[in-house]
Amino acid sequence: MTSTPPQVHFDDVNVGDEIPTLTVTVDPTQMFFFSAATYNGHRIHYDRQWAKEVEGYPDIVVQGPLQAALLARAVTDWIGSAGTLVNYAVQNRASAFPGDELRFRGVVTAVRAEIGADTAGPATGLVDLEITGLKGDGQVLMPGTATVRLPRRG
């Protein structure tokens, strides 16, 4: 990342707002690095013959935790350096495969100002989101919710 995007503030967020959609096509190289970074030896993520012949998948399977990490990234990209992820909950609904176009999106469902919770720190507010990972054809891979803390203006 060469430049930091402008910081989003709690005051500027409204129910119904959509966060920028993250569109990603995972390839086997990225899957290899993710398995390495998570110490994941599960053969369905790298052994195509095993995935197809033993487990009946059409190809190696994108790791569920990678889908989850990408969906979280859509949220943390949006909240910027001054925002924090407070809660993150997702369900794995479907498998994705290398070459699939994946879309990760979120919509604001509630905003809650935090009053007097921490008088020493900067003023903040909580934002609830409904978040979804989808395939290009619209199939839901991963539905969920997130709550983030954003700074207030001024």
Partner 1 sequence: MSSLPEPSEDSRDVEPLIPAEMAARIGEVVASRTAVVEVKEFQRWAASVKDRNPLYFDAEVARANGHPDVPMPPMFLQQVALGVADLDQLRPDGTAGTGNGNLSFPLCPRRMAGGENHTFLLSVYGGDVITQERRIDSIVEKSGRSGRFVLVTWKTTYTNQRDELVAESTSSMIARP
Under the criterion CB under 8 A, does residue 88 sit at the interface with partner 1?
A: yes
Indicate which single residue of 15, 53, 58, 87 sits in contact with partner 1 (rule: CB under 8 A). 87
One-character DSSP codes across 116-134: SS-TTS--EEEEEEEEEEE
- For the segment 124-153, give every residue that binds partner 1 (CB under 8 A): 144
72 belongs to the binding site for partner 1 (CB under 8 A):
yes
Helix, strand, or coil (residue 66): helix
Q: Could you give the CA distance from residue 95 to residue 141 in angstroms, rounded to a whole number?
A: 7
The yes or no reply on residue 28 touching partner 1 (CB under 8 A) is no
119 is an interface residue for partner 1 by CB under 8 A: no
Interface pick for partner 1 out of 82, 113, 117, 140 (rule CB under 8 A): 82
CA dist., res. 54 & res. 98, Å (int): 19
Among 11, 17, 30, 97, binds partner 1 (CB under 8 A): 30
Residue 98 engages partner 1 in binding (rule: CB under 8 A):
no
**Residue 112 interacts with partner 1 (CB under 8 A)?**
no
| Residue 73 or 112 having the CB closest to partner 1 | 73
Give the interface size with partner 1 as a residue count (CB under 8 A). Answer: 41
